[in-house]
Amino acid sequence: MTRSRPVFPFTALVGQREMQRGLLIAAIDPLVGGVLILGDRGTGKSTAVRALAAVLPPIRAVACAYRCEPRATAGLCERCTGKSRARPAALEVPVPVVDLPLGATEDRILGALDLERLMVSGEKVYEPGLLARANRGFLYIDEVNLLEDHLVDLLIDVAASGENRIERESLSVVHPARFVLVGSGNPEEGELRPQLLDRFGLAVEVRTPQDLDQRVDVVRRREAFERDPEAFCANHQGAEAALRAQLVAARRALDRIVFDDVLLRQAAALCQQLGTDGLRGELALMRAAKAAAALDGRRAVAREHLIEVAPMALRHRLRRDPLDETDSSARVARAIEQVLGATAP
């Protein structure tokens, strides 16, 4: 596939604030656990993910198949873990954003025996798959709600452990596979398996702008981009660079962000109020709030950050009650109002 076509700039997206913030938060702190983007067709979900890839600052990586971190001591591939300190030289590479297409085979995702090598030399060599390529980057699944169950199972295991373990075809391989999972889909076309739903740190909702001016703006930008992608991207280069710098600064600041006790307690109360199962929701909420504060260049988490990220972090974790008509976003909003005494954005 020729991927020479420039991608639509992230900063040129119109009126999709929640999705944009969610993606940036997930990019700042991979531990948040990825983003699930829910919305109708034609709302620019895939466009946003591809655009994010272009705006992310490059990473330093060893020139191995898994882009191991040069200075890390854990979570490396077999070759980089080796006693000999002679790792390949580190390079600056773009953050991988790997597409996992719906029809992908298990072999393609997990990796398999390298047929070519087998044929030529009879060597048994493991050929890394999509999970390997996504290490330290993003794994993007469009229409994730339509993904085959047996593929979902593969993903759930790997997403939980951060490594891909292969025991098949007389291969025995373990390699790191830590990635930020990004999924998108239209909930009207089928629900996500609850187990996979839970793996996503954030769930953002996206809809077509309802404002006429914004709609016109969306199409106009698209058309300008189609007409001359290079020129259009050049126009947004400044904004893209600024955002990149903002991301770098936010990542650096992340560990020092203060989360004061009062707010922490409120966050916990919010989760309790909503009855979200398990601690995962609470963790995601706190991490996301910190990342949001870092993104805004603040030193401490403020109430507004909590209010902003609570719907993203919690709406997909509410216990399912098919008899309750209110949608989950409304329930989160109500809880925010009760606990924090403020209205959600």
Partner 1 sequence: MSGPAVPRTPPAKGQTPIDPVDDALRALELFSRAPLNFGGLHLRGWHGPRRHALLGWLRRACESAARGQSAGWHALPHHTEPDQLETGTDLAESLRLGRPVARPGLLARFAGGVVVLQRAERVSPGLAARLAAALDARQIALILLDESLPDEEGPPAVLLDRLALSLDMRDESPWRSLDALAELARAPRGAARRLAAVRPVAPAPSGERGLLELCRAAMLFGIDSMRRVEQASMLARMSAAEARRAPAAGEAAGEAASDTLEPRDSDLALAIRQVLLPRARVMPMMAESDEAPAPEQPEPPAQPDPPDSPDSPSEPDPPETPSDPGPQHAESPADPTDPDPTSLPDGASERLVEAALSALPPGLLAMIASQIGARAAAARGAGSGRESAKGRGRARSVGARRGRPRGQERVHLLATLRAALPWQRLRQASTQRADAAGAGPRAPASRPAARQPVRFHPDDLHVHRERKRRGSTTVFVVDASGSTALQRLAEAKGAVELLLADCYVRRDRVALVSFRGAGAELLLPPTRSLVAARRALTALPGGGGSPIAAGFELAARVAAQLDRSGDDVTVVVLTDGRANLSRDGLPGRERAADEARRVARELAPLATHRVLIDTSVRPEPAAQALAVALAARYVPMPFARARAIRDSIAAATR
Q: Does 208 bind partner 1 (CB under 8 A)?
A: yes
Kindly tell me which residue out of 177, 181, 218, 257 binds partner 1, with binding defined by CB under 8 A.
Answer: 218
The smaller minimum CB distance to partner 1, of residues 115 and 258, is found at 115
Q: Given the residues 221, 280, 298, 303, select the one marked as catalytic.
A: 280
Q: Which residues fall within 8 angstroms of residue 30, CB to CB, at 6 or more apart?
A: 178, 180
With residue 37 as reference, give the H or E element that holds it: strand 35-39
- The 24-53 contact track toward partner 1, x by CB under 8 A, reads ----------------xxxxx-x-------
Residue 268: count other Cβ atoms within 10 Å of its Cβ: 15
- The 285-324 contact track toward partner 1, x by CB under 8 A, reads -----------------------------------x-xx-
The question of whether 17 is a catalytic residue gets the answer: no
Kindly tell me which residue out of 213, 230, 260, 277 binds partner 1, with binding defined by CB under 8 A.
Answer: 213
Q: Does 143 bind partner 1 (CB under 8 A)?
A: yes
The smaller minimum CB distance to partner 1, of residues 47 and 266, is found at 47
Q: SS3 for 11? A: helix
Kindly tell me which residue out of 72, 105, 162, 248 binds partner 1, with binding defined by CB under 8 A.
Answer: 105
List strand residue ranges (DSSP E) for 56-145, in order: 59-62, 90-93, 97-99, 111-113, 126-128, 138-142
Q: Does 277 bind partner 1 (CB under 8 A)?
A: no
Kindly tell me which residue out of 157, 188, 277, 337 binds partner 1, with binding defined by CB under 8 A.
Answer: 188
* Cα 37 to Cα 12: distance, rounded to the nearest angstrom: 18
Q: Do the strands 138-142 and 126-128 form a parallel or antiparallel pair, or are they unpaired?
A: unpaired
DSSP state of 111: E
Q: What is the dihedral of CA 80, 83, 84, 88, to 10 degrees?
A: 10
Number of chain residues interacting with partner 1 (CB under 8 A):
64
Q: Does 167 bind partner 1 (CB under 8 A)?
A: no
Which tokens in the block code for residue 12? 């040129």
Q: CA distances (Å), 304 to each of 18, 171, 296, 308, 315, in order? A: 14, 51, 11, 6, 17
Q: Does 210 bind partner 1 (CB under 8 A)?
A: yes
Q: Does 145 bind partner 1 (CB under 8 A)?
A: yes
* Cα 144 to Cα 37: distance, rounded to the nearest angstrom: 10
Q: Does 165 bind partner 1 (CB under 8 A)?
A: no
Q: Does 116 bind partner 1 (CB under 8 A)?
A: yes
* Cα 216 to Cα 46: distance, rounded to the nearest angstrom: 20
Residue that the structure tokens 């076309």 belong to: 189
- Chain positions contacting partner 1, by CB under 8 A: 1-3, 5, 40-44, 46, 99, 101-108, 112-113, 115-116, 118-120, 122, 124, 142-143, 145-146, 148, 150, 169-170, 186-191, 193, 207-208, 210-213, 215-220, 222-224, 226-227, 320, 322-323, 325
